[in-house]
Amino acid sequence: MSLLIVNGLSTEIRGRGESNLVVRDISFRVERGETLALVGESGSGKSMTALSIARLLPPAAQVSAGEIKLSGRDLMQISEREMRDVRGSKIAMIFQEPMNSLNPVLTIGDQIAECVRRHQSVTRSAARQQSIELLAAVGLPVPQRNIDEYPHQLSGGMRQRVMIAIALAAQPDLLIADEPTTALDVTIQAQVLDLLKDLQSQFNMGLLFITHDLAVVKQTVDRIAVMHQGELVEHGTNEAFFASPKHAYSRALLAAIPTAQKRLQRDLEQDAKRVSAVAQPEAEDAAGPILSVRNLQVHFPIRGGVFRRAVDYVRAVDDVSFDLHAGKTLALVGESGCGKTTVGKAILQLLKSNQGSVQFQQRDLQTLGNEDLRKIRQDLQIVFQDPYSSLNPRMLVGDILEEGMTALAVLKTTQDRKRKIKLLLDQVGLPADSVLRYPHEFSGGQRQRISIARALAVEPKLIVCDEPTSALDVSVQAQVLNLLIDLQEELGMSYLFITHDMAVVSYLADEVAVMHQGQIVEQGPTEQILLQPQHHYTQKLLAAVPSL
């Protein structure tokens, strides 16, 4: 008998007078000791499926059809009281955000022991002892001390380990992990994934692994089920899926993941195009680098004491130097908190740097007066990460695109600007009537296109792309990346591409600089860094990246 059988499950969300099926008639099984991945992009209904199984749906949502059998028992038929006995002891869950998922005012020990005592009749001290053992099992450094700490005192990876300890507290038969590593850095992700695999075989649990990341899936799971718009479009073993995905959506999903091979393919196509084009503007390379950063340092004061004087500094950027040549892409890679975004902002003079120089077109930006800086801003633009906070929701798209041109007096007449906006929308692949619409009417990918058009409006020579695709689904990410590459081909701009994603780096960067704790530990041509990393951090980073 299968551990978990989901049969014809449908879940709906009811709004004002209308209901919306977010899970449509899906069926799958999970066996003991086996891992099934539920893969899909945002809004595909994968999380709703998980919550339906544990009967933890938000009030507006409810299961409208289907049966869910755990060890032969239909969970849809039992009372809420019986279901509570199932939760924790038979089905345990891990969620995406370990910070929000833990109660901030209870100690870690309280939160684990609570689950232990809920499902086993043990004394308080025995439960505490068991909690310490669990913490040791999930690899917390000092379980005896960690047990009395609060969630905010631990790092993100440690918190997720605590979540796993809570989930294991009553030795469940089925573990549902809902994007357990999405909020974590790639090196931490690798550790947590290893831990999950170990524990699964140790406890012989069934694992339902919910994720958007096909690369993670390939290394971790036995079988894969792909969800798209609430439906299960494909279902098969790991090997079979990656060898020959059957459904068109699965193929599209795989094709959208950027890799070095795809880049080569793309380069060939571009070369072919270039050959067919008669005249081809040669990059003005001889003039030297367009951007040259030397010994850049940005420190943030830590204030303390009675008078809030700076007692220490966070060295967010500590002695960073690199060159970027015209028409090229330099990728600045690193994990969260390494200072890569700060570098971008310091180059744009959105942040004051403490030391070092930023030479842009042979002029040191830090010594420029306000007026000169304004002139230079025309050549130096930025595209941000979050498609939702990067566009003012109260402004028409037309006004957003026009703002830069007006502020920098690029085009003097309204007519010229209108014409330019039309051209821009065409370049980024948006309909011309977008000018009279508001940002909220567009999807995430389209918003990112608007952001790109906004930067392009003043015809910059260099664009700082600060994680422009990391908030997007993988299929949309591919489109935006290709758009960026096409625009570079067409307009000859340089990109400083800030990212944490090695796959993206391999897809579009000419050169790579790897950042770690405010410093660049290694830089060089993309191929060299990816294939022959010298620095041990780069090696560790590359080893942690799950690949297809």
Partner 1 sequence: MSIQPTFLITDLLFFALTISLIAFVFVVRKRPHLSRPWSQVLKSTTGSVSLMILLFYYAIALVDSVHFHPRVAQATESQYQYSSEVHSLLDVLMTPMRSRMEKTFSAPLATHSFAKEMMQNEAGQLQRDYPRLNYGGAHLAQPEDQKAADIISISLQASAQALFYWALIWLFMLWLYSQRNNQGLATLLANVLKAKTTYPLRAIAITSAVLMLLTVVSMQLGQHYHLFGTDKVGQDVFYQAVKSVRTGILIGVLTTLITLPLAILLGALAGFFRGWVDDVIQYIYTTLNSIPHVLLIAAAVLLLQVYMSGHADDFDSLTERADLRLLFLCLILGITSWTGLCRLLRAETFKLREMEYIQAAEAFGVSKFKILMRHVMPNFMHIVIISVVLDFSGLVLAEAVLSYINIGVDPSMNSWGNMINQARLEMARDPIVWWSLSAAFVFMFTLVLFANLFADVVRDALDPRVVRGEQ
Partner 2 sequence: MSAYIIRRMLYAIPILIGINLITFVLFFVVNSPDDMALMQLGSKHTTELQIEDWKRERGYHLPLLYNAEQSGLAAVTETIFYQKSAKLFVFDFGSSDSGRDIGYDISQRMWPSLALAIPTLLVGLLVTITLALTIAFFRGTYIDYWAVIICVALISISSLFYIIGGQFLIGKLLKIVPISGFDTGLHALKFMILPVLIGIVGGIGSNTRWYRTIFLEEINKDYVRTARSKGLSEQMVLFKHVLRNALIPILTGVVVVLPLLFMGSLLTENFFGIPGLGSYTIDAINRQDFAIVRAMVFLGSVLYIIGLVLTDISYTLVDPRIRLS
Rounded Cα distance, 462 and 464, in Å:
7
Q: Which residues contact 193 (CB under 8 A, 6 or more apart)?
A: 181, 216, 219, 220, 546
Compare residues 166 and 462 and give the one whose CB is closer to partner 2: 166
Judge contact between 470 and 499, C-beta under 8 A.
Answer: yes
Residue 461 interacts with partner 1 (CB under 8 A): yes or no = no
Distance of closest approach, residue 305 Cβ to partner 2, in angstroms: 5
Rounded Cα distance, 252 and 97, in Å:
28
Distance of closest approach, residue 167 Cβ to partner 2, in angstroms: 8
Compare residues 209 and 495 and give the one whose CB is closer to partner 1: 495
Compare residues 171 and 297 and give the one whose CB is closer to partner 2: 171
Angle ∠(7,216,526) on CA atoms, nearest 5? 150
97 binds, among partner 1, partner 2, none (CB under 5 to 8 A by kind): partner 2
304 binds, among partner 2, partner 1, none (CB under 5 to 8 A by kind): partner 2
Residue 506 tokens read as: 């391999």
Candidates 91-99, 142-150, 229-237, 403-411 — which segment interacts with partner 1 by CB under 8 A? 403-411
Distance of closest approach, residue 406 Cβ to partner 1, in angstroms: 9
305 binds, among partner 1, partner 2, none (CB under 5 to 8 A by kind): partner 2
403 binds, among partner 1, partner 2, none (CB under 5 to 8 A by kind): partner 1
Residue 386 interacts with partner 1 (CB under 8 A): yes or no = yes
Judge contact between 207 and 175, C-beta under 8 A.
Answer: yes
Compare residues 54 and 227 and give the one whose CB is closer to partner 2: 54
Distance of closest approach, residue 456 Cβ to partner 2, in angstroms: 39
Task: Return the DSSP state at 392.
Answer: -
Distance of closest approach, residue 512 Cβ to partner 1, in angstroms: 24
Compare residues 86 and 487 and give the one whose CB is closer to partner 2: 86
CA 329 to chain centre: 21
479 binds, among partner 1, partner 2, none (CB under 5 to 8 A by kind): none
Judge contact between 144 and 122, C-beta under 8 A.
Answer: no
249 binds, among partner 2, partner 1, none (CB under 5 to 8 A by kind): none
Compare residues 105 and 286 and give the one whose CB is closer to partner 2: 105
Judge contact between 245 and 251, C-beta under 8 A.
Answer: yes
Compare residues 149 and 399 and give the one whose CB is closer to partner 1: 399
Q: Which residues contact 513 (CB under 8 A, 6 or more apart)?
A: 322, 330, 331, 332, 333, 520, 522, 523
Q: Report the SS3 class of residue 456.
A: helix
Q: In what order do the strands lie in the sheet with 73-74?
A: 19-30, 4-14, 61-70, 73-74
382 binds, among partner 1, partner 2, none (CB under 5 to 8 A by kind): partner 1
Candidates 262-270, 331-339, 450-458, 527-535 — which segment interacts with partner 1 by CB under 8 A? 450-458
Judge contact between 4 and 68, C-beta under 8 A.
Answer: yes
Please select the residue that binds partner 1; options are 220, 385, 494, 499, rule is CB under 8 A: 385
Q: Which of 475, 500, 443 is nearest to 183 (CA)?
A: 500
Count of residues binding partner 1 (CB under 8 A)?
A: 32
Distance of closest approach, residue 319 Cβ to partner 2, in angstroms: 29
Applying the rule CB under 8 A, the residues between 294 and 353 that interact with partner 1 are 345, 348, 350
Q: Which residues contact 530 (CB under 8 A, 6 or more apart)?
A: 260, 502, 505, 506, 512, 542
Residue 363 interacts with partner 1 (CB under 8 A): yes or no = no
Distance of closest approach, residue 477 Cβ to partner 1, in angstroms: 18
Q: Residue 46: how many CA atoms within 13 Å on its side-chain side?
A: 26
Residue 545 interacts with partner 1 (CB under 8 A): yes or no = no
Compare residues 258 and 404 and give the one whose CB is closer to partner 1: 404
Which residues sit opposite 313 in a β-bridge?
A: 301
- Residues binding partner 2 (CB under 8 A): 54, 56, 59, 84-89, 91-93, 95, 97, 100-106, 114-115, 118-119, 150, 152-153, 163, 166, 169-170, 304-308
10 Å CB burial of residue 119 (0-12, 13-18, 19+) is middle
Please select the residue that binds partner 1; options are 263, 377, 535, 540, rule is CB under 8 A: 377
391 binds, among partner 1, partner 2, none (CB under 5 to 8 A by kind): partner 1
Q: Which residues contact 26 (CB under 8 A, 6 or more apart)?
A: 6, 8, 9, 10, 49, 66, 225, 227, 230, 231, 232
Q: In what order do the strands lie in the sheet with 363-364?
A: 309-324, 291-304, 355-360, 363-364
Question: Rule CB under 8 A: which residues touch partner 1?
Answer: 15, 60, 345, 348, 350, 373-374, 377, 380-382, 384-386, 389-395, 400, 403-404, 407-408, 438, 440, 451, 454-455, 458
